[in-house]
Amino acid sequence: MNNRIREYRARYSLTQEDLAKKVNVRRETIVFLEKNKYNPSLRLAYDIAKVFGSKIEEIFMFDQETD
pLDDT at residue 65, as a whole number: 56
Per the domain annotation, does 13 fall within a domain?
Answer: yes
pLDDT at residue 66, as a whole number: 47
Per the domain annotation, does 45 fall within a domain?
Answer: yes
Domain extent, residue 15, equals 2-55
Per the domain annotation, does 22 fall within a domain?
Answer: yes
* Nearest in space to 4 (alpha carbons), one of 59, 63, 53: 59
**pTM to 2 decimal places:** 0.89
Per the domain annotation, does 61 fall within a domain?
Answer: no
Number of domains in the chain: 1
CATH of the domain at 14: 1.10.260.40
Low-confidence ranges of the chain (pLDDT < 70): 64-67
Q: Where are the beta strands (DSSP E) in the chain?
A: 2-3, 60-61
Per the domain annotation, does 11 fall within a domain?
Answer: yes
